[in-house]
Amino acid sequence: MEIREKVFVVTGAGNGIGREVTLGLLARGARVAAVDLSKAGLDETAELALAGERLTIHPLDITDRTAVMALPAAVTDAHGQVDGLINVAGIIHSFTPIGALSFDDIERVMAVNFWGTVNTTKVFLPLLEARPASSLVNVGSMGSLVPFPGQGAYGASKAAVKLFT
């Protein structure tokens, strides 16, 4: 897929891998709607990108389905179309056995890593399917393939993303 002038939505764009994906797409001439929980992180990504109107920032909690449902309209208003969705956003929990994690800790990891991916995929899929060519990338982890001690909930969340995809 030629990415110049294509529009990509990138979750987790406020830092780490999501930021690097965003900067890489912009460097190759794409337009990006950067999504992250942290507005400060998104502002820093925008400062690094120096991409002008080719980059829009969308502070958003991907676990908030109502907010996510409004995102496609915001992106198409800003960019006119959506050619790709790259779900990078994810969190880990402390390196702790499941028995020592609270239900809230486990639910938060599942909410961000799995349900956040489901939320964004579901709302953008109709736009992606309507394009002549489009891409959907859901970032998993080696933790979905090989269990890591103390990362049971994280591994389960990424295995769920893998099978969902």
What residues are annotated to the active site?
154
Write the CA distances from 14 to 37, 57, 122, 123, 150, integer angstroms: 8, 9, 22, 21, 26
Among residues 64, 62, 26, which one has the least CA distance to residue 45? 26
Task: Walk across the sheet containing 7-11 and list its strands.
Answer: 55-59, 31-36, 7-11, 84-87, 135-138
Q: Where are the beta strands (DSSP E) in the chain?
A: 7-11, 31-36, 55-59, 84-87, 135-138
Q: In sequence order, which residues have a C-beta less than 8 Å from that of residue 94 and are 6 or more positions away?
A: 101, 105, 150
The SS3 of residue 27 is: helix
